């Protein structure tokens, strides 16, 4: 007789357990049953530790004096925040099971059986799987626009309401609804983030007046510097990720050295306990074609080994002349239950980006020879047809997690990554064309690779102090990144370097790159130990205390910099004003060593860029956490912002070195965000941000970021006869942005502005069957003209015109 399928075995096992339970309870006397019924309505004081749900339910059952029946597989990968205080049995169970996708169903014999929540009545946050690895809840399969729990801020697994900092999360469902296939797309949908494209293949993100240079993968900080230039981070494909978490403001507690703007944490998809898979095929504007395959499930009969494989390929042209890009991504991950309490995870991912016709510094120069603004079409490209900024990433990672008992978990994470690039660039730049309409090509080549390794080890769990239970995280990390690069700019053209600007077709022979003009070999090493605790002062008042001690070293061909024993403090507080509303405040700081070119007039590297983040606000949750809202006021104080030393640079004769100096800056602002389910079938992610950045003289800076931003994206599933149709859309708006630029032909500084604008997107989905659907996304519906960058090397680049993407998905 062949072995039964795994799901059949599970069902039989559950049936036998329930039958035995029923037979046992049938012998309970009627008097005991009456007692249980009365007890269900009375209130009892409970002390249940946070941690694995199965253990918590067992502990609750003992304290409540009731029997709770569940299959161990139902709760095996679920955690709970615990329970403390006086509740009825059903109130206590509701709190323990919050965001688990399970509910307790009372039986006629007085006991309780766990069953899946009704998907028609509510979104099942975390119903797919809640991992014990302290990453928070998986969003895939929940249909939700808000997470159940997150850990990016402190390593403590907390709900958004419990976290004393602003964090925006773009879930898997949000990405699928709006065809967000890369990090740029996700960041445009993230409230309060400015997406600034340097050119076709490089993007930078800004938050609260500062560049975001901190990237994490499954909570492990990337050790790579210059992520916007050549690390490939901003090109990451979304096919392999469950969600993207964006922590606003300083994040030194977990990242050590980093930027003041915030942290982007990309959380990978995990294997599932049951077989799932999907295939998508899409086609869109400018010959944009995309295919994705995703397979996941158990690899052994018992399910103790699970795997997942994802592959995606995209081939697209562009609204920009002669530009195209081919990208491929592959991802594989295995989870192995070494013991019931030990989980080993190993995986790898691979991505290639092969563009052709890459623009360089915008897509056209702003000024011509006379200092007048160039009038360029959106399709104009300053690039030669051979210009290409190729980038690739290769990653292998491993995680070992151990249930230490009593709610404690230990975790070791290892990560090895290669980030490489070969940029062979040629473009029309600077003050062109000349009076006769001719222009020259600036051609350079940059080639290199960064090899980085990171390890992080920590334990997390509850402890008792002064009669109350609290939570603690203790950990340490080490990382190293070695960048080897070459720059070629002493080039030789085989034909005259002169082209017709007004009839530019990209044709000019590639030059001989010659020998390398610059060779770089730099290594960044960083170690740190950190601790965070949440002290439960009362049921309503929580105090967060933590810190990180950092050692940081930069050595190599550039200037050497060392920082030893630096303490990065963290403090926060939350107070539950009502059952739905929490007030909070937090403080943290961060430091970032300067880039190698930020030298003073004596050619000495500037002191590190340092900053402090202060934040107060209100957070609320509704519908058992399915809808979250927050209002925050923040101040970010910076002490060594690099700025040109004009008193030195403008001397006559011109000094041999271009110098920078450090200046103080301060950001003040507030933001409002709402995410989640407004009602069954109606989801929303929206936010409004206002901020102003000033230097130590009170002058506004970072003005290329708008002071005001508004975004909202929503989807609604129709009812009745139209229940196969979902409709949605959204928009983003920003106020005026401007950049002060030096107009060298006119020898003066000028402001170049981007006026306020709206960009509106629409989508609709038709669900042919339970497993087959087609989604149409139309972006920039009103075909708005706007710049997505102004002033980078006196250049500009337009945002995308109106475009569409039609995607068919088959789930199995």
CB 719 within 8 A of CB 725: no
CB 563 within 8 A of CB 579: no
CB 391 within 8 A of CB 39: no
Q: For the residues of 153-182, what is the DSSP string, one character each?
A: TTSS-B-GGG-SS-EEEEEHHHHHHTT--B
Give the per-residue pLDDT at 77: 58
Tokens standing for 273?
A: 């306990």
CB 156 within 8 A of CB 532: yes
Separation of alpha carbons 164 and 247, rounded Å: 11
CB 255 within 8 A of CB 237: no
Separation of alpha carbons 56 and 680, rounded Å: 30
CB 112 within 8 A of CB 93: yes
Separation of alpha carbons 76 and 306, rounded Å: 14
Element (H, E) at 254: helix 252-255
CB 474 within 8 A of CB 449: no
pTM (2 decimals)?
Answer: 0.84
**DSSP strands (E only) in 167-284:** 167-171, 193-197, 203-207, 210-211, 214-217, 220-221, 241-248, 262-268, 276-284
* Beta bridge mates, 373: 367
Domains and CATH numbers, the chain: 44-121 (3.55.50.30), 268-547+615-635+665-811 (2.40.170.20)
Separation of alpha carbons 419 and 451, rounded Å: 7
CB 139 within 8 A of CB 172: yes
Sign of the Cα torsion 37, 41, 45, 48 reads positive
Coil, helix or strand for 420?
strand
Give the per-residue pLDDT at 39: 46
- CA nearest neighbour of 601 among 563, 647, 663, 633: 647
- CA nearest neighbour of 728 among 769, 766, 757, 689: 766
Give the per-residue pLDDT at 611: 87
Residues of the chain with pLDDT below 50 are 1-40, 119-133
Give the per-residue pLDDT at 234: 85
Give the per-residue pLDDT at 104: 84
Separation of alpha carbons 156 and 530, rounded Å: 12
* Beta bridge mates, 811: 278
CB 101 within 8 A of CB 125: yes
The DSSP letter of residue 258 is -
* Cα angle for residues 350, 353, 356 (degrees, 5° grid): 165
For residue 210, give every residue at least 6 positions away whose Cβ sits within 8 Å of its Cβ, in sequence order, or none. 259, 260, 261, 262, 611, 636, 638, 667, 702
Separation of alpha carbons 651 and 628, rounded Å: 55
Separation of alpha carbons 603 and 698, rounded Å: 28
Separation of alpha carbons 628 and 716, rounded Å: 18
Tokens standing for 737?
A: 């942005």
For 128, phi then psi, to 5°, come to -65, -50
CA distances from 670 to 580, 603, 687, 709, 738 (A): 21, 39, 11, 11, 21
Tokens standing for 305?
A: 């080994």
For residue 339, give every residue at least 6 positions away whose Cβ sits within 8 Å of its Cβ, in sequence order, or none. none
């Amino acid at each position: 007789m062949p072995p039964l399928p795994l799901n059949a075995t599970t069902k039989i096992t559950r049936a036998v357990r329930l039958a035995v339970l029923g037979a046992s309870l049938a012998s309970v006397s009627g008097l005991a049953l009456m007692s249980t019924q009365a007890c269900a309505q009375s209130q009892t004081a409970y002390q249940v530790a946070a941690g694995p749900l199965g253990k918590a339910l067992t502990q609750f059952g003992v304290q409540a004096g009731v029997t709770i029946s569940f299959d161990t597989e139902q709760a095996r990968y679920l955690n709970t925040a615990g329970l403390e205080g006086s509740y009825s049995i059903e109130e206590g169970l509701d709190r323990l099971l919050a965001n688990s996708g399970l509910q307790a169903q009372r039986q006629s014999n007085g006991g309780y059986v766990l069953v899946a929540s009704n998907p028609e009545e509510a979104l099942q946050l975390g119903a797919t799987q809640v991992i014990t690895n302290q990453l928070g809840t998986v969003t895939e399969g929940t249909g939700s626009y808000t997470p159940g729990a997150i850990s990016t801020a402190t390593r403590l697994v907390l709900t958004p309401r419990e976290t004393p900092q602003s964090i925006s999360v773009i879930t898997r469902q949000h990405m699928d609804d709006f065809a967000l296939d890369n990090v740029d797309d996700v960041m445009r949908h993230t409230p309060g983030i400015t997406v600034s494209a340097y050119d076709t293949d490089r993007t930078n993100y800004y938050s609260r007046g500062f560049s975001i240079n901190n990237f994490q993968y499954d909570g492990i900080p990337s050790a790579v510097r210059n992520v916007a230039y050549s690390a490939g981070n901003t090109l990451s494909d979304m096919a392999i990720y469950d969600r993207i978490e964006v922590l606003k403001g300083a994040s030194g507690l977990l990242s050590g050295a980093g930027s003041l703007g915030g942290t982007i944490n990309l959380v990978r998809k995990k294997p599932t306990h049951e077989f799932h898979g999907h295939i998508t095929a899409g086609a869109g504007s400018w010959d944009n074609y995309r295919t994705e395959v995703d397979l996941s499930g158990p690899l052994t009969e018992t399910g103790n080994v699970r795997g997942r494989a994802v592959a995606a390929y995209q081939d697209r042209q562009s609204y920009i002349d002669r530009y195209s890009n081919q990208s491929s991504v592959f991802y594989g991950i295995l989870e192995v239950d070494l013991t019931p309490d030990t989980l080993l995870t190993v995986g790898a991912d691979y991505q290639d980006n092969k563009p052709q016709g890459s623009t360089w510094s915008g897509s056209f120069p702003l000024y011509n020879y006379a200092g007048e603004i160039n009038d360029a079409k959106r399709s104009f490209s300053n690039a030669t047809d051979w210009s290409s900024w190729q980038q690739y990433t290769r990653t292998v990672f491993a995680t070992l997690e151990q249930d230490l008992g009593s709610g404690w978990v230990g975790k070791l994470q290892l990560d090895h990554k290669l980030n490489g690039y070969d940029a062979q660039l040629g473009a029309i730049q600077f003050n062109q064309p000349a009076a006769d309409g001719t222009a020259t090509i600036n051609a350079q080549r940059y080639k290199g690779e960064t090899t980085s390794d990171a390890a992080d080890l920590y334990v997390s769990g509850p402890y008792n102090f002064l009669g109350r239970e609290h939570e603690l995280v203790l950990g340490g990390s080490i990382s190293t990144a070695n960048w080897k690069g070459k720059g070629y700019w002493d080039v030789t053209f085989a034909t005259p370097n002169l082209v017709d600007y007004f009839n530019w077709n990209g044709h000019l022979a590639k030059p001989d790159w010659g020998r390398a003009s610059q060779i770089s070999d730099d290594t960044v090493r960083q170690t740190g130990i950190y601790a965070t605790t949440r002290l439960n002062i009362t049921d309503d008042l929580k105090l967060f205390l933590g810190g990180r001690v950092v050692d940081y070293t930069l050595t190599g061909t550039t200037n050497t910099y060392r920082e030893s024993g630096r303490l990065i403090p963290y403090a926060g507080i939350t107070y539950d004003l009502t059952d739905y509303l929490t007030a909070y405040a937090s403080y943290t700081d961060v430091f970032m060593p300067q880039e190698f070119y930020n030298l003073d007039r004596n050619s000495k590297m500037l002191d590190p860029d340092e900053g402090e983040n202060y934040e107060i606000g209100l957070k609320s949750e509704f519908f058992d956490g399915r809808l979250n809202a927050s209002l925050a006021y923040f101040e970010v104080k910076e002490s060594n912002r690099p700025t040109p030393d004009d008193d030195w640079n403008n001397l006559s004769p011109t000094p041999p070195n271009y110098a920078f100096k450090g200046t103080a800056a301060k950001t003040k602002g507030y933001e409002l965000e709402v995410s989640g389910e407004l009602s069954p079938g109606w989801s929303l992610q929206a936010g409004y941000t206002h901020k102003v950045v000033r230097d130590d003289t009170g002058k506004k800076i970072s003005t290329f970021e708008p002071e005001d931003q508004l975004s909202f994206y929503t989807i609604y599933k129709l009812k009745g006869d139209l229940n196969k149709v979902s409709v949605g859309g959204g928009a983003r708006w920003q106020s005026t942005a401007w950049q002060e630029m030096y107009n060298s032909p006119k020898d003066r500084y000028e402001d170049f502005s981007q006026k306020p604008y709206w960009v509106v997107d629409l989508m609709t989905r038709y669900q042919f069957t339970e497993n087959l659907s087609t989604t149409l996304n139309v972006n920039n519906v009103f075909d708005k003209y706007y710049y997505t960058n102004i002033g980078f090397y006196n250049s500009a680049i337009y945002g995308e015109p109106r475009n569409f993407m039609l995607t068919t998905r088959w789930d199995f």
